[in-house]
Amino acid sequence: MIRQRGSTFVVILVTCLIVIGCSGLATSSPVTIQYYTLAWQPGVVKAIQRISKEWNEANPDIQVEVIWGSWGAVNEFLLTSFLGGDAPDIFHTDAVMCYEYGALGFGAPLNDYLTDETLTDVPQWMWDSASDYEGNIFGYPFLVETHVIFTNRTLFQEAGIEVPDNSEISWDQFVDYSRRLTTRDESGEVSTWGVMAPVSWEKFPWMLVAQNDGNIVNRQEDGTWIVKVDTAAREALSYYCDLVTRWEVMPTEAMSNDYTYLMSAFSQERYAMIVFGCWNRRILALWDTVDWGMLHLTGPVNNITSGGPQAHGIWAGSPHKEEAALFLDYISSGQNVADIAYPDWIFPARTSGQADPKFSAEENQWDLAHGWLDYAIDIWPTMPTIIAFDMRVVVPELEQVILGNKSFDDAMDAIEKNGNEYLLQIGLQ
Amino acid sequence: MSEYGMRRVGEGRQAIPFLLPTILIMCAINLYPFINGMVRSLHSFRIMSQEFTYTGLRNFRLLLQDELFWRAFLNSMTWVATCISAQFVLSFVLALVLNSRELIARRVVRTLALIPWAMPPVVVALTWRYMLADRGPLNALLGVLGVANPPSWLLDPSVALWACILVTVWMNIPFMTVMLLAGLQSVERSLYEAAAIDGANFLQTTLRVTLPAIKKVALVVVTLMSIWTFNMFDIVFVLTNGGPGNASITLPLFAYQNAFFYYQMGYAAAVGIVMMACLLLLIVFYIRQVLE
């Protein structure tokens, strides 16, 4: 009897040891990291699939699970995921949003995971747009573009417009071209508008402000922010509104315009010029409905363009930050990032990646878009919530001016008043 | 207490353990978010410190001073009142037609009338965004009919909200029609025969016989539709996103924007509480109708 009890005890003990052993094995089982990507163009999706597959084969201990997101819902998805405590380990968004999420405590500082080689290979302005004022880097930039004016060359020819050899034009030339390109039918209705630059996306008004060295939000020494639309910014925003109200070369559609409509209208010669990121060459080349060209707008003070860098961030709550950083380095460098950038018709953030000759080819004007990268900066001021600020405060006021419901000066005063109230409410003052 | 009363109390006690799981689930799903929302509406979210600071009724005071809130509130009221009135009138007419025995291919027509209801609201909104575009099919049709300057449905601030209302009415008519049709079919034919013998014309029969007979169904469906329409988000979100110049913003969209874009979660919760207060009136009315 005692022997039987003894053997039962041994069986239980062995079972317990096996269970404990198995659980021990479980802790050393592969780590799975979730990678939230906004890739959507077919070639980019393929590249991401290839890269993650190859990574998973080469790194059985760190498995990557790709979560496919969309630019249209990225903010809602990430914000709710962060607040719910169940966010992907790696997330892809604009560099300025990486900074914002970092400033809010959702993004982890990446400084410890970045090598000197990486830091020097990516231009400093891109790191700046993803960093706070204490030097914490919250985003690893991996893609960059240039903001250009797409032109309908047939309409330019018909209007007798000859563009400069370097394809760079001034603000005055831009208005002059737009006026010459705006045509009306016999009843006086506009049949072709000179230009379309939507007010609430593609951030054209902010690019104009940056080109005139203007400021709308200003950081104080104590780290708080105030809204003060300076003279240069007022000139820039006035220039934008004048396209609709004074020169009548841009329709009020600038207030509500989606991508599909914008592109179809450009194809149907409703707009002679549209302001957009250079990635849009892919769609224009694919559709092949317009003989298109590109121009770069040079501001009165400087000739910068909106680089709009895209970056990867790591969730502050991720238990696998180191593993995530290893994957980030893998996807953001060498052939991998080139394979992502090229089918996206934009450029790798790394200078070494841009050296690939295909990014400077004459075909589809890669060379022009690449050349203008020298002028690229992130035109958003590095203030947390800057995009929310734009949507909440700036855009509605510009819309009121465009509609003729408010004078420009009143709108600028309202931006300052409402903007400061908003910053106070969310704790930036 | 009588023996019957004692037995009922006893049965009630016995039911508690069986009802408890459901009560707990309901509390977790409904009560917790409600209380959480109430509490958050009394706090301000300081984004940099990630703290909810107790501010009492400050969010509500700010709401009262917020011009955009009042615009959203007014738009929501216009939206509900117009949508429901238009839906009721049109649905009632359609239900009368569908109820008519003279209607040829009645079943086919009834099925066709239900199509808008079968489509998801986002798909409806996307389709209508194409239809209402400046150079879309609707304006093309108006052009053919000789309208020189058809409106910019989604771009003109004075028209944008009405365009959203038009789409919502189109989408919601089938549901209301089906409900009213069910009511019409339950009206006894002898009432119409009596009215006919008394010499009542169509209008008199409709006003004196049909409407009173379906009053209960109509009240319930109007109340339900008012609640759903007040809360509706997707149509405005897809069609205009509240624009242009916030001309078509409604309360649900205003709350969404504050919560998910402007980081004003306490403020958005306060908007939610105001919305709930508005809905409470409708809900009380609805429950009274149902209980009657």
Burial zone of B34 (CB within 10 Å; 0-12 exposed, 13-18 middle, 19+ buried): middle
Nearest-CA distance A103 → chain B (Å): 7
Domain A147-306+385-426, CATH 3.40.190.10 — does that match?
yes
Encoding tokens for residue A137? 């880097």
pLDDT band at B44 (very low <50, low <70, confident <90, very high): confident
Q: Cα dihedral angle (A10, A13, A14, A19), rounded to 10 degrees?
A: 160
φ, ψ (nearest 5 deg) of residue A303: -115, 35
pLDDT band at A21 (very low <50, low <70, confident <90, very high): very low
Strands (E), A322-392: 347-348, 376-377
Q: Which of A145, A202, A197 is nearest to A171 (CA)?
A: A197
Residues B64-103 pLDDT 10s:
988 889 999 999 999 999 999 999 999 999 998 888 877 7
pLDDT band at A200 (very low <50, low <70, confident <90, very high): confident
- Contact flag A388-B263 (C-beta cutoff 8 Å): yes
Residues A123-165 pLDDT 10s:
999 999 999 999 999 999 999 999 999 999 999 999 999 999 9
- Contact flag A252-B244 (C-beta cutoff 8 Å): yes
**Cβ atoms of residues A295 and A181 within 8 Å:** no
Q: Give the contacts of A341 (CB within 8 A, at least 6 positions apart).
A: A143, A347, A348, A353, A359
Average model confidence (pLDDT) for chain B?
87
How does strand A90-94 pair with strand A217-219? unpaired
pLDDT value for A403: 85
- Contact flag B48-A384 (C-beta cutoff 8 Å): yes
pLDDT band at A256 (very low <50, low <70, confident <90, very high): low
Terminal CA-CA length for chain B: 28
**DSSP code of A299?**
-
Does residue B154 carry a pLDDT above 70?
A: yes
d(CA B243, CA B250) in angstroms, rounded, equals 10
Encoding tokens for residue A106? 């959702």
d(CA A173, CA A298) in angstroms, rounded, equals 10
Does residue A3 carry a pLDDT above 70?
A: no
Nearest-CA distance B45 → chain A (Å): 6
Residue with tokens 């009394």: B42
| Buried/exposed code over A371-389 (b: 16+ C-beta within 10 A; e: otherwise) | bbbebbbbbbbbbbbbbbb
Residues B235-258 pLDDT 10s:
999 998 887 778 899 999 999 988
Residue with tokens 């615009």: B71
Domains of chain B: 3-41 (no CATH), 63-291 (1.10.3720.10)
| % residues pLDDT > 70 (chain B) | 97
Contacts of B50 in chain A (CB under 8 A): 104-105
pLDDT value for A281: 94
pLDDT value for A4: 53
Average model confidence (pLDDT) for chain A?
90
Q: Which residues of B fall below an 8 Å CB-CB distance to A?
A: 44-50, 62, 129, 133-135, 148, 152, 154-157, 240-241, 243-246, 257, 260-264, 267
Same topology, domains A32-145+308-377 and A147-306+385-426? Answer is yes
Question: What are the structural domain ranges in chain A?
Answer: 32-145+308-377, 147-306+385-426
Q: Which of A190, A158, A191 is nearest to A177 (CA)?
A: A158
- Contact flag A105-B50 (C-beta cutoff 8 Å): yes
| % residues pLDDT > 90 (chain B) | 29
How many helices (DSSP H) and strands (DSSP E) are in chain B? 16, 2
Global pTM value = 0.80
Nearest-CA distance A325 → chain B (Å): 25
Residue with tokens 């994957």: A327
* ipTM entry: 0.70
A–B CB contacts, 8 A cutoff, strictly below = 79
B136 vs A100, A161, A265, B27, B225, CA distance in Å? 39, 31, 11, 48, 30
Residue of B nearest to A198 (CA): B244
pLDDT band at A9 (very low <50, low <70, confident <90, very high): low
Mean pLDDT of B223-235: 91
Nearest CB partner across the interface for B49, out of A79, A265, A427: A427
pLDDT value for A1: 46
Instruction: Write down how long chain B is.
Output: 292
pLDDT band at B287 (very low <50, low <70, confident <90, very high): confident
Contacts of B129 in chain A (CB under 8 A): 258
Residues B48-69 pLDDT 10s:
667 778 888 989 998 998 888 9
Nearest CB partner across the interface for B243, out of A75, A76, A399: A399
Higher pLDDT among residues B6 and A198, named by residue: A198
d(CA B114, CA B170) in angstroms, rounded, equals 11
**Cβ atoms of residues A292 and A203 within 8 Å:** no
Nearest CB partner across the interface for A255, out of B135, B244, B264: B244
pLDDT band at A426 (very low <50, low <70, confident <90, very high): confident
Residues B159-214 pLDDT 10s:
899 999 999 999 999 989 989 998 998 888 888 889 889 888 888 998 888 999 99
- Rg value, chain A, Cα: 26
pLDDT value for A25: 44
Domain A32-145+308-377, CATH 3.40.190.10 — does that match?
yes
> Cα B256 from chain centroid?
17
d(CA B149, CA A3) in angstroms, rounded, equals 101
- Contact flag A396-B134 (C-beta cutoff 8 Å): no
Nearest CB partner across the interface for B154, out of A103, A256, A399: A256
Q: Which residues of A fall below an 8 Å CB-CB distance to B?
A: 75-76, 79-80, 103-105, 187, 200, 252-253, 255-256, 258, 261, 265, 268, 270, 384-385, 388, 391-392, 396, 399-400, 403, 405, 422, 425-428
Classified as helix, coil or strand, A151 is strand
Does residue A17 carry a pLDDT above 70?
A: no
Residues A93-132 pLDDT 10s:
999 999 999 988 999 999 999 999 999 999 999 999 999 9
Nearest-CA distance B136 → chain A (Å): 10
pLDDT band at A323 (very low <50, low <70, confident <90, very high): very high
pLDDT value for B128: 92
| % residues pLDDT > 70 (chain A) | 93
**Cβ atoms of residues A192 and A183 within 8 Å:** yes
Does residue A24 carry a pLDDT above 50?
A: no
Residues A355-401 pLDDT 10s:
999 999 999 999 999 999 999 999 999 898 899 999 889 998 998 89
Classified as helix, coil or strand, B247 is coil
Highest mean pLDDT among A290-304, B10-24, B119-133: A290-304
